[in-house]
Amino acid sequence: MEVNKKTGKRKKITTVALLALIVCLIVSSMFFFHLDRRLPGGTAIFYSPHPDDEVLSMGSGLLEALDRNEQVIMVLLSQGKASKAIDQVNERLLQEGYPPINAEEFGAARAKEFRESALQLGVKEENIYLYDLPDGSLNTEEIKEIMTSFAARYPEAVHHTMTYKDPHRDHAAAGKALQELKKAGIIRHTVYYIPVQEWENLKSLFNHVTKTPPSKLAGHQKALAAYKSWYPAGGRYAIGITSVPEYFEIIEGAYQSVWSKR
Ligand SMILES: [Zn+2]
């Protein structure tokens, strides 16, 4: 009798311990998935509608991902040939005795600024992808195709881009593409960024602020500098800073990204 009682007790204890273990596992997995953006060693893919969005609005988020040792993939959607900054660049070139550049050369120079920014941020050369969708009329379906191909290659990746609430239609198209892919179940993890100039206007909709990690600040500054280099003989035309000087001022006063998961 005595022995049987003890065995019964032991059985009970084992059952309780098993139940506790199961509850622990469920709770920890919920926690794990809740913090999906913070998975160490995961992959983070950043889609930049134009050159400079990656360093102005998404830079701190990207640097935080690198700081967590995530693999970071950077995708440029459009070279940004429609920017009116080409007129200012050509004016300055003429003043300094250089011939003007055409839209193709302008686009190539912008892509060059993007590539250098990516490298300065700390992204590996082989993880930089350049597309040239038509600037000013980015098409949600075309962006979805690009995102779907990356989702297939990196099934558990977190996908980052500008928000579908962005007043700039190209940025909104990128956000909308990601939103639709999430709804369709093709992409699971999403992060949407608010552009620097809308931090005040759209503040209530965005609940996360990520600061540039201190150890990555120098990289952030060097990446911004990639958009300020004027060296016409080497095809460098300081296009980013010429195009949106006020945005550079905002980020250099804050070094942060403001984002939301949905
Ligand atoms: Zn942009």
Note whether 24 and 47 are same-domain residues: no
Note whether 110 and 1 are same-domain residues: no
* pLDDT reading at 72 higher than 60: yes
Closest CA to 107 of 162, 51, 148: 51
Note whether 166 and 109 are same-domain residues: yes
Closest CA to 158 of 123, 190, 194: 190
| Local confidence band at 131 (pLDDT 50, 70, 90 cut-offs) | very high
Instruction: Return the minimum-mean-pLDDT range out of 10-24, 59-73, 91-105.
Output: 10-24
| Ligand 1 centroid – CA 60 distance (Å) | 16
Name the pTM for this structure: 0.84
| Ligand 1 centroid – CA 50 distance (Å) | 4
What pLDDT shows up at residue 7? Answer: 54
| Ligand 1 centroid – CA 12 distance (Å) | 62
The DSSP letter of residue 1 is -
| Local confidence band at 4 (pLDDT 50, 70, 90 cut-offs) | low
| Ligand 1 centroid – CA 153 distance (Å) | 25
CA separation for the pair 130, 75 (Å, rounded): 6
Given a contact cutoff of 8 angstroms between Cβ atoms, the answer to whether 88 and 245 are in contact is no
| Ligand 1 centroid – CA 184 distance (Å) | 26
Return mean pLDDT, the chain.
Answer: 90
What pLDDT shows up at residue 1? Answer: 46
Encode pLDDT of 204-217 as tens digits.
Answer: 777 799 999 999 99
Note whether 132 and 85 are same-domain residues: yes
CA separation for the pair 216, 64 (Å, rounded): 8
What pLDDT shows up at residue 201? Answer: 86
With residue 198 as reference, give the H or E element that holds it.
none
Q: Work out the number of other CB atoms within 10 angstroms of the CB of residue 66.
A: 18
For the chain, report the end-to-end CA distance as a whole number of angstroms: 61
Beta-carbon contacts of 246 under 8 Å, excluding residues fewer than 6 positions away, are 197
Mean pLDDT of 217-245: 97
- Phi, psi (rounded to 5 degrees) for 207: -105, 5
Note whether 130 and 227 are same-domain residues: yes
Strands 230-231 and 236-237: antiparallel
* pLDDT reading at 30 higher than 70: no
| Local confidence band at 49 (pLDDT 50, 70, 90 cut-offs) | very high
| Ligand 1 centroid – CA 3 distance (Å) | 76
* pLDDT reading at 40 higher than 60: no
Note whether 24 and 117 are same-domain residues: no
CA distances from 68 to 1, 29, 62, 72 (A): 58, 20, 10, 10
What range defines the domain where residue 5 resides? 1-35
Per DSSP, the residues of 36-97 read GGG-TT-EEEEEESSTTHHHHTSHHHHHHHHHTT-EEEEEE----TT-THHHHHHHHHHHTT
What pLDDT shows up at residue 204? Answer: 77
Instruction: Return the minimum-mean-pLDDT range out of 58-72, 173-187, 193-207.
Output: 193-207
Specify burial of residue 93 (Cβ count, 10 A radius: 0-12, 13-18, 19+).
Answer: middle
Encode pLDDT of 76-120 as tens digits.
Answer: 999 999 999 999 999 999 999 999 999 999 999 999 999 999 999
What residue type is assigned to position 141 of the chain? Answer: E
Note whether 16 and 62 are same-domain residues: no
CATH number at residue 237: 3.40.50.10320
**Domains in the chain: how many in total?**
2
Reported residue count of the chain is: 262
Note whether 85 and 136 are same-domain residues: yes
Instruction: Return the minimum-mean-pLDDT range out of 65-74, 179-188, 194-203, 249-258.
Output: 194-203
What residue type is assigned to position 65 of the chain? Answer: A
